Amino acid sequence: MNLVITFSSCIIPVIILFIVIYGLKRNVDVYDEFIEGAKDGMKTVVAIVPTLIGLMVAVGILRTSGFLDFLSKMLGEFTHYIGFPSELVPLAVVRLFSSSAATGLSLDIFKEYGTDSYLGLVASIMMGCTETVFYTMSVYFMAAKVKKTRWTLAGALIATLAGIAASVVIAKAII
């Protein structure tokens, strides 16, 4: 185990050193290239900030307005039949938009039901098995100037549903 810990703490500096040495061998001004890359990164950050602010505001409105609780109660009967706890519906919805807001909801679930409870296990596994679909699509497609997303949304939502289903199945197997 100590070997893995040592390796993991050394891998990033080794990669950076390899990049610098490789650039120097190719007669590339590594520092200037780094600065140009940082400038491009800052341009990307400035371009995606409005999208990020819009997503954060939307998630805040959903969370504080009580809409997520309403949605949880409405879908509770349906989710009960398919084996998905209605208490986790808000987490599944918010996870599509914001990882940090979903983390906050997960902490609320942990406080109310416990981390080792069935709901806590499903929430934990769901956080690892799903992605912030709308955040990722909006940020990366805007940065790359992608206009036609084709089947991306459908594929991402199917993958998210598979992750949610996997979290329920795995948590049931653990308990």
Any idea where the domains of the chain sit in the sequence?
A: 47-174
% of the chain surpassing 70 pLDDT: 99
What predicted TM-score, i.e. pTM, was given to this entire model? 0.71
The pLDDT tens digits of the residues spanning 44-88 come to 888 878 877 887 788 788 878 988 888 888 888 788 888 899 889
As a whole number of angstroms, the distance between CA 162 and CA 136 comes to: 18
Residue-wise pLDDT for 119-160, tens only, equals: 999 999 999 999 999 888 887 887 788 888 889 999 999 999
**Beta-carbon contacts of residue 4 (< 8 Å; ≥ 6 apart):** none
